[in-house]
Amino acid sequence: MIHSDSTGKAGLRRALLATRAALTAQDIEGAQAALGRRALELPELARARTVAAYVSVGTEPGTRALLDALRARGIRVLLPVLLPDNDLDWALYRGAAHLAPARRGLLEPDGERLGPEAVTQADAVLLPGLAVDGRGMRLGRGGGSYDRVLSRLARAGATPARIVLLYDDEVVARVPEEPHDHPVEAVVTPGGVRRFG
């Protein structure tokens, strides 16, 4: 059980990452299959024309089966491309064969860059995270890339569904919050979907 009373965001991140580091390949694979099934049942994804997502790496809750399933449904899937200043550009997902290794151990699409504003056209945005609390406040890894995405959406008046994919024990009592943090609408875990406000 992860307690959210660790010393602020840094302590909570360390605890969550340590728990993820202990996961086996079998744990990760099983969670990916369940996450994909749960996410595909979401009405927000079923009716979406464009979904901004990401490629999971390492012990992150797996997105790869979900990316392929969305693409197979004819949904336009945008994936992030990390820029030198930690902001995100976007490119279309054209299948696993078109993913290339990038900085920080990430995998990025090898196609045409669509610009940082491309995310504002998404009907749903799948956000990486380490935890979400009962108010829908998300704890990211601390790089600020997705804080910029959420701010960009707000500035543009774009209101895509904001959804986080996590492991079951990463829904915590409280995430330390800062003024720039934005809540999400839903969290999907292998055990189910939880919606907020």
CA distance 103 to 126: 21
Per-residue pLDDT of 23-79, as tens digits, reads 999 999 999 999 999 999 999 999 999 999 999 999 999 999 999 999 999 999 999
Per-residue pLDDT of 96-119, as tens digits, reads 999 999 988 899 999 999 999 999
CATH superfamily of 8-195: NagB/RpiA/CoA transferase-like (3.40.50.10420)
Q: Is-contact 44 188, C-beta < 8 A? A: no
For the chain, the domains span: 8-195
Among candidates 137, 164, 104, 150, which has minimal Cα distance to 9?
Answer: 137
Per-residue pLDDT of 7-25, as tens digits, reads 588 899 999 999 999 999 9
In the chain, pLDDT over 90 holds for what percent of residues? Answer: 85
Residue 6 in this model has a pLDDT that exceeds 60: no
